[in-house]
Amino acid sequence: MTDQTKYVYDLSEGDVTLKPLLGGKGANLAEMAKIGVPVPDAFTVTTQACVAAMNNGGDWPEGLADQIDAGLARLEERTGKKLGSAENPLLVSVRSGAVFSMPGMMDTILNLGISDDTVGSVAQLAGNERFAWDCYRRFIQMYGEVVEGISPHVFEDALTAMKVDRGVDQDTDLTAEDLKALTDQFKELANRELGGEWTSDPKEQLLRAVNAVFASWLNPRAEVYRKSQGISRDLGTAVNVQMMVFGNRGETSATGVCFSRNPSTGAKELYGEFLTNAQGEDVVAGIRTPRPLEEMEGVLPEAFHELLATMDKLELHNKDMQDMEFTIEDRKLYMLQTRNGKRTAAATVKTAVDMVDEGLITTDEALLRINPSDLDALLHPGIDPNHTATSIVKGLPASPGAAVGALSFNADDAAERGGAGEQVILVRYETTPDDIHGVMKAQGVLTAHGGMTSHAAVVARGMGITCVAGAPGIKIDTINETVTIGDTVYGKDDVVTLNGSTGEVFAGALPLVPPAINEDFEKVGEWADQARRLGVRANAENFEDASKARELGAEGIGLARTEHMFMAADRLPAVRKMILAENEEQRAAALAEILPMQQADFEGIFTAMKGLPVTVRLLDPPLHEFLPNLVDQSVLVKELELTGADAAKLEAEKATLAQVKKLHEQNPMLGTRGCRLAMLYPSIPEMQARAIIRAALAVLEREGETVGVEIMIPLVAFESELKAQRDIVVAAVEDEFEKAGKKLDYLVGTMIEIPRAALTADQIANQADFFSFGTNDLTQTGIGISRDDAEAGFLGAYVETEVIEKNPFESLDADGVGQLVAIGVEKGRATKPDLKTGVCGEHGGDPASIEFFNKVGLDYVSCSPFRVPIARLAAARAALQA
Ligand code: PEP
Ligand code: MG
């Protein structure tokens, strides 16, 4: 029965459509072979086999071992070589290959098949004895560590002892004889570590190696990486078993990595690195610093030109920038891997735009290729160009942007301090994928070794984290946590600035500036605007933010939080006076003070947004945010009583204390907020309505044009509340019109941010010209979790331990809170088919949530100004994917 499941595919049986089964690497290898690119022959064990083993406590599904055996036999047949044969040995690599690329996160075994029996003919075929013994000792080391779990120290110590004994510095200084002796030692050590259980049968080793790659799918660094990239654990990894080709057979052999375009800038130019007489791992692990690809023309000209042609062919075929690994064995080029290259946000945008210009892809394809959060990185700061400073060292510009932070010397420390909100720069000799949790929490990464394509660089670039790699001559002391750069010693408390775009490192914190948004960025925005259905507005409270939002493509303001206009220290007293007023007379005086401030702010926003709609939300001040703290106020009164110095002040503070006590609430977020305060004190919404209309008329007068005025009532739960508030607003507005002798169009609508409002939206809609979903409060009240307390507490733990997938305050809980939105839209439109609906909670800038809002038919989303470009693109992608 099980023999119906096919777990092993020959190279010629696959192609790119089988990616879910063969993994990215396996499918791309097959595809390359299909289009005539030189690829070493191989077979692939499917992801399905890995998943079956994973679900079965590690036990292989029936038939898998036999199918691998048969696959190997066919590979032997095709290559004319045989695993373990003394005459014509086949050597293979065993590599992981998941559906989504996870660079360096899983295990690899090279040179499998080398043994006491085969090492002699490997030496003979290669004409190089040293090479053969080097392969063999590397194999024992790699296989021992990866498959058998032997500590690296066992081998490293022996290697170091050998070098000391021979009086040499470098591995490459060891002779064939030395390496042969070392191989014997390694075998003995490995056998001892395994209590005599070391196997030297290549077939047995192959099966165990496949199993080890399966198991590496679940190793901690892979888990961390998957989580950060949202890759499902259920996918499993494929395993590629491929004939080895050798880049380390002397100076006519080489290995390298290249991109079809520059992955940092997106420019169409030569980009890559190579090393002669080396194996692939030497390049990607960053152990030897590789040479720029340009130099290969002088060393291996024929292979170089074939490589250029192959790069073009692969890019054209895949219609995307390719990231390739190649090996040259005795002047013959082999491609070992191609995949769509990870790239910076800037390069993502540039390549997408260029490829549209080149006719390679359509604008819609370009939009689908740019992840909205990539745009975020483009909005990140760089170093102020007007600031001159001399760098203390210059390494490779591995991942662009600028980063300022205190030094951290290990990943755990960086994860801890970075997680606690400190800005840190992780400094490592070379980063390994085990450092990933630290990299993720750091502002930037600085390494002493490694090239542009080392893991540190690839991972940081993918995550948009600034990285300077291979900084020459820096000396890191991880024990004492210091780094010596030039003559200066820097410690944990010292701050540096990295320029990931130039590779420069500076002492101290340099001033940063926001990046300029270029023409390509603008073009993507224009294409997105043509493709999207959802409108995009911004949340802003002043002229500057509104102007920025408009510059970034906002089509209006979806939320101006009027209470935010009072956050400044010089304005807070006026609001306090208004709330704490003991009678209407006092309140009227406070409101008279506030009205001109509000009007001036509104004029600023309206000027920035003229011609577009602006939703002004009436006051929604959670009282605890705006009132003096009860305890502090009590202490203040006590102090004044004790000193007895200022009787008048004492009386005033006592009166305030009495009011604070009266207004004190146990749950202020569920208390006298929003329209509830306005219901108690109608003079507040009245004043605000007047200020809005006066501002709109003043801007009309001054600019000849004003905004579409939308007045929004917050925290409504009952139709009767909205009716009462609407009446107050309309009366004030009409009175202003009459006084001014002028009119303009305006709307009165409401926020839907209480479940009751969503559920009774058909009634609420009777009083509303529009709805705007306040998904912050709707999440708080819909799930019943405090938006102020939960994230640092249990909610963080829930996300960490995957009780829930995502923080519902960041990304909408579509299953639960989303239903309230959907019901609200449906019921509201049942009453008023043309009811305008939008969202202004934080979810308005979150791509996944935007997809949901598009689906339920909202008219627009509103988000913070810097997220406007992201929202425009996300809305376009939602429309294209729908
Ligand atoms: C909301 O609740 O989603 C909202 C936009 O209002 P605020 O965040 O000001 O409570
Ligand atoms: Mg709210």
Residue range 768-814, pLDDT digits in tens = 999 999 999 999 999 998 877 665 568 878 887 889 988 898 899 99
**Ligand positioned closest to the Cα atom of 842:** 1
Does 259 lie in the same domain as 196?
no
Q: What is the amino acid identity at position 484? A: T
> What are the strands, taking DSSP E only, across 472-629?
475-477, 482-485, 488-491, 495-499, 504-507, 512-513, 535-539, 557-561, 613-617
Residue 849 Cα to ligand 2 middle (Å): 17
Check 467, 675, 840, 863 and give the catalytic one: 840
User: Domain count of the chain?
Assistant: 5
CATH code at position 507: 3.50.30.10
Q: Is 624 a catalytic site residue?
A: no
Q: Which atom of ligand 1 is nearest to the CA of 776?
A: 3
714 Cα nearest atom in ligand 1: 6
For position 206, which CATH number holds?
Answer: 3.30.1490.20
Q: Indicate if 638 and 706 belong to the same structural domain.
A: no
Same domain, 402 and 548: no
What are the distances in angstroms from CA 304 to CA 29, 162, 320?
20, 37, 21
> According to the annotation, is 617 in a ligand binding site?
yes
Q: Is 774 annotated as a binding residue?
A: yes
Q: Give the whole-angstrom CA distance, residue 458 versus residue 447.
A: 13
Q: What is the CATH classification number for the domain harbouring 314?
A: 3.30.470.20
The ligand 1 atom nearest the CA atom of 620 = 9
Is 497 annotated to bind a ligand? Reply is no
Q: How far is the CA of 775 from the centre of ligand 1 (A)?
A: 7
Q: Which of 455, 467, 564, 863 is catalytic?
A: 455
* 518 belongs to a structural domain: no
- Give the range of the structural domain holding residue 816, as residue numbers without chain letter: 532-621+673-881
In terms of domains, do 388 and 469 share one? yes
- In this structure, the answer to whether residues 173 and 277 fall within a common structural domain is no
Q: Is residue 709 part of a domain?
A: yes
Q: 199 and 92, same structural domain?
A: yes
Q: Which atom of ligand 1 is nearest to the CA of 753?
A: 2
Residues 607 and 648 grouped into a single domain = no
Q: How far apart are CA 878 and CA 871, in angstroms?
A: 10
Protein residue with least CA distance to atom 9, ligand 1: 561
- Would you state the pLDDT for residue 287? 63
Distance 647 CA to ligand 2 centre (A): 41
Query: Residue 57: what pLDDT?
Result: 92
| Residues 172 and 199 occupy one common structural domain | yes
> Mean pLDDT of residues grouped by 10 in the chain (882 residues)?
79 95 94 96 97 94 96 97 94 94 85 96 86 93 95 93 90 90 96 93 96 94 87 94 90 94 91 88 69 95 97 95 94 93 87 96 96 77 82 85 94 93 93 78 89 62 78 91 95 95 92 80 96 96 91 96 76 83 90 93 97 96 80 92 90 91 88 94 96 98 97 98 98 98 97 98 98 95 83 73 87 97 98 97 93 98 90 97 91
Q: Which of 618, 751, 771, 863 to mutate to test the pocket of ligand 1 (most atoms within 8 A of CB)?
A: 751
How many other C-beta atoms are found inside a 10 Å radius of the C-beta of residue 312?
12
Give pLDDT, residue 771: 98
* 775 assigned binding-site residue: yes
Q: Which ligand is nearest to the CA of 861?
A: 1
Give the pLDDT score at 453: 58
Tell me which residue of 276, 266, 314 sits closest to 296, measured CA to CA. 276
Residue 418 located in a structural domain: yes
Q: Compute the distance between CA of residue 581 and CA of residue 285 in angstroms, rounded to an integer.
A: 69
Of 513, 544, 577, the residue at which a domain comes to its end is 513
Separation between Cα atoms, residue 876 and residue 882, nearest integer Å: 10
For ligand 1, atom 1, name the residue with the nearest CA: 774
Task: Quote the DSSP letter at residue 433.
Answer: G
Is 777 known to sit in a ligand binding site? yes
Parallel, antiparallel or unpaired: strands 482-485 and 271-276 = unpaired
How many Cα atoms are found within 13 Å in the side-chain-facing hemisphere of 804?
19
Tell which atom from ligand 1 comes closest to the C-alpha of 563: 9
Question: At residue 53, what is the residue type?
Answer: A
767: in domain:
yes
Q: Is 356 within the bounds of a domain?
A: no
Residues 259 and 145 in one domain: no
pTM summary value = 0.74
Query: 364 lies in a domain?
Result: no
Ligand located closest to 845 CA? 1
User: What does the pLDDT read at residue 793?
Assistant: 65
Q: What is the pLDDT of residue 746?
A: 98
Look at residues 195, 215, 243 and tell me which one is the last residue of a structural domain.
Answer: 243
Q: Whose CA is nearest to atom 6 of ligand 1?
A: 774
Pairing type for strands 402-408 and 424-428 reads parallel
Token match 């072979």: residue? 33
Ligand closest to the CA atom of residue 775: 1
Same domain flag for 502 and 616: no
Q: Distance, CA 643 to ligand 1 centroid (Å)?
A: 43
How far, in Å, is the centroid of ligand 1 from the Cα of 774?
5
Q: For a pocket test of ligand 1, which of 616, 620, 787, 810 has the largest count of ligand atoms closer than 8 A to its C-beta?
A: 620
Ligand 1 atom 10 nearest Cα: 777
Q: Tell me which residues have their CB closer than 6 angstroms to ligand 1.
A: 559, 561, 620, 753, 774-777, 840-841
Do the annotations mark residue 776 as ligand-binding? yes
Whole-number Å distance, alpha carbon 859 to ligand 1 midpoint, is 18
- Is residue 157 in some structural domain? yes
> Residue 694 falls within a domain, yes or no?
yes
Output the CA 798–ligand 1 centroid distance in Å: 23
Which of 456, 486, 513 corresponds to the end of one domain? 513
Token pair for residue 545? Answer: 């933010």
Taking the CA of residue 774 as reference, the ligand 1 atom at the shortest distance is 3
Question: Same domain for 119 and 260?
Answer: no
At 427-454, the pLDDT tens digits run: 998 777 668 789 889 999 999 886 655 5
Please write down the HEC assignment for all residues of 701-769: HHHCCCCEEEEEECCCCCHHHHHHHHHHHHHHHHHHHHHHCCCCCEEEEEEECCHHHHHCHHHHHHHCC
Q: How far is CA 367 from CA 316, 375, 549, in A?
A: 19, 12, 21
> What distance in Å separates the CA atoms of residue 844 and residue 811, rounded to the nearest whole number?
9
Residue 291 shares a structural domain with residue 425: no
Does the annotation place 643 within a ligand binding site?
no
Per-residue pLDDT at 805: 87
Give the Cα-Cα-Cα angle 118, 123, 129 (nearest 5 degrees): 130
Q: Which of 565, 624, 776, 863 to mutate to test the pocket of ligand 1 (most atoms within 8 A of CB)?
A: 776
